[in-house]
Amino acid sequence: MNVTDIGLLRLAAQRVTGELFQRPEDVAKHLLAMQSQDYAGGLWSVGLRTKSATQQDVEKAIAERKIVRTWPMRGTLHFLHADDVHWMVDLLAPRVTASVRGRRINQLGLTDEVVAEAEALMRAELKGGRSIERNQVVELLQSVKGLSIDNQHTQHLMRNFGERGIICFGPHVGKQPTFVLLDEWIPKPADKPREERLAELAERYFVSHGPATLKDFAGWGMLKMSDARVGLEAAKKNLNEEVVDGKVYYYALGLKPVVQTETILLPGFDEYILGYKERETVLAMEHANKVVPGGNGMFLPTVIQDGQVVGLWKRKINKSGVVFEYNYFPGQKSLTTDVSETRYQSFVMGEKV
């Protein structure tokens, strides 16, 4: 393996190329967690890894409780398979919640007492399988004593509840997201020892994201390096290990690169970019600011060719279909995008290919 192989191997590991999945929930199971604060982009991240699933198919898997959207790690929203949501939230979210406690109390005024009262209101509202739309949450929380509610307070409280395994997202109602009680939506299974969970997390991360480094793994899960090492040491026996340019990479046994025969259109927060702490092997650093303008954390949709990020794309949807626009990086030629455009159009318009 050399540096140029890493991108192609990652595409194959993430099942962007090669054998695609039949069902949306199988994608979520394989990838462990897929960033989805951009809801539409998250749906496409799932869809592009299937043979022919449409946006409606992915949302159906959410409605049927096979895919769950919540805050398992890094303080941001992800799609997870229902089987993984409880243990990943329990394993990864507490460290994030603890890291923002000072800001929650000192800057936002969300004391432990305020949070407890808001939580009690939310539990009472949702108990018995009920749901609440996002635009109704502010109205509900306005009755909390000592809380001058605004959008920032609401977002922080809902994230806090999600990271503590109290709520998760339910299906959308029109364009409005809904919230439900996690334990009622997905019953909690028996837990396993922490070391066993770290081992599972490590093995499944490197199988689905490799070649990747220990630093990539720790950054992806916002893990302490000591915990990341515990997981990796237990998983090593089931992984390939290879040194490239002085860095140790781990990846699935038997993983082979797949020649990329068509341009790939990734959404802005796809795991191919977000799944790693270091991205230099697939994104030239002189173009990194184009993908994340101003380093503000907002990742734009990218064009992938031969495992490399070669430009950006955007689309407009009208009644007749999808109109695509491209912005290639200097030195990159305009590429054939017909197959990818057809696949994306079929996804959002609900037409099977």
DSSP string for 111-162:
-HHHHHHHHHHHHHHHTTT--EEHHHHHHHHTTSTT----HHHHHHHHHHHH
Residues 6 or more apart whose CB falls under 8 angstroms from that of 124 comprise none
| Residue 271 domain-assigned (yes or no) | yes
Residue 309 bridge partners (DSSP): 304
Residue 260 near residue 9 (C-beta atoms within 8 A) = no
Tokens 């919640």 -> residue:
97
CATH of the domain at 225: 1.10.10.10
By C-alpha distance, which of 57, 50, 84 is closest to 69?
Answer: 84
Do residue 244 and residue 340 come from a single domain?
no
Is 14 in contact with 49 (CB distance < 8 Å)?
Answer: yes
**Residue 196 pLDDT exceeds 90:** yes
Q: In this structure, are 174 and 202 located in the same domain?
A: no
Q: How many CA atoms lie within 13 A of 65 on its CB side?
A: 12
Asked whether residue 295 is domain-assigned, the answer is: yes
pLDDT at 330 over 70: yes
- Based on the fold, state whether residues 161 and 225 are members of the same structural domain: no
Question: Which residue, 185, 217, 233, sits at the end of a domain?
Answer: 185
Tell me the residue type at 212: A
**Residue 176 confidence (pLDDT) above 80:** yes
Question: Do 138 and 71 share a domain, yes or no?
Answer: yes
Q: Residue for token digits 């490590």?
A: 202
Residue 146's pLDDT band, with cuts at 50, 70 and 90, is low
CB 275, CB 15: distance < 8 Å: no
Of 8, 50, 29, give the one whose Cα is nearest residue 200.
29
Are the CB atoms for 197 and 181 separated by under 8 Å?
no
Q: What is the pLDDT of residues 124-143, one digit of tens each?
A: 999 999 999 988 988 888 87
Q: Please check whether residue 130 lies inside any domain of the structure.
A: yes
The candidate with the shortest Cα–Cα distance to 68, out of 42, 94, 50, is 42
CA distance 112 to 45: 37
Phi-psi region of 293 (alpha: psi -120 to 50; beta: other; left: phi over 0): beta
pLDDT number for residue 335: 80
According to the model, what pLDDT value does residue 352 have? 63
In terms of pLDDT, which residue wins out, 116 or 320?
A: 116
Calpha distance 242→344 (Å, rounded) = 35
CB 192 within 8 A of CB 87: yes
pLDDT average, residue stretch 57-62? 97
Q: Among 203, 226, 252, which residue terminates a domain?
A: 252
> Which is it for strands 302-305 and 178-181: parallel, antiparallel or unpaired?
unpaired
Res 141: pLDDT: 85
In the prediction, which pLDDT does 353 show? 55
Helix (H, G, I), strand (E, B), or coil: what is residue 12? helix
Residue 280's CB is within 10 A of a number of other CB atoms, namely 12
**Per-residue pLDDT at 244 exceeds 90:** yes
Domain boundary residue, one of 205, 228, 252: 252
Average pLDDT over residues 113-129: 94
What domain range includes position 212? 194-252
Is residue 258 assigned to a domain?
no
Q: What is the pLDDT of residues 101-112, one digit of tens each?
A: 999 999 988 999
Average pLDDT rounded to a whole number, residues 20-42: 97
Residue 131 domain-assigned? yes
What pLDDT score was predicted for residue 102?
95
Q: Give me the pLDDT at residue 140, please.
A: 87
| Predicted confidence (pLDDT) at residue 151 exceeds the cutoff of 80 | no
What is the reported pLDDT for 229? 98
Q: In the prediction, which pLDDT does 171 show?
A: 94
Residues 174 and 212 in one domain: no
Task: Show the tokens assigned to 233.
Answer: 């040491």
**What is the domain count for the chain?**
3
Based on the domain organization, do 159 and 306 belong to the same domain?
Answer: no
Domain contains 1:
no
- Select the more confidently predicted residue: 159 or 108: 159
Per the prediction, the chain carries an average pLDDT of 93
> Residue 262 is encoded by which pair of tokens?
């068509």
- On whether both 238 and 156 belong to a single domain, the answer is no
Strands 167-169 and 239-244: unpaired
Res. 334: pLDDT tops 90? no
pLDDT value of position 259: 86
Tell me the average pLDDT across 108-126. Answer: 93
* Claim to verify: residue 159 and residue 294 sit in the same structural domain: no
Q: What Å distances lie between residue 87 and 30, 63, 182, 256, 275, CA to CA?
A: 15, 21, 12, 30, 19
Statement to judge: residues 20 and 143 lie in one domain: yes
The crossing angle, in degrees rounded to 10, of helices 112-126 and 151-163 is 80
229 and 329: one domain? no
Tell me which residue of 33, 1, 36 sits closest to 14, measured CA to CA: 33
Q: Which of 25-29, 219-223, 328-332 has the lowest mean pLDDT?
A: 328-332
Is residue 163 a part of any domain in this protein? Answer: yes
Residues 145 and 34 in one domain: yes
Residues 26 and 151 in one domain: yes
- Please indicate, yes or no, if residue 204 is contained in any of the structural domains: yes
Model pLDDT for residues 261-306, shown as the tens digit of each residue: 889 999 999 999 999 999 999 999 999 999 999 877 899 999 999 9
Residue whose entry in the numeric block shows the structure tokens 């989805």: 36
Q: Does 333 have pLDDT greater than 60?
A: yes
State both tokens at 62: 């959410």
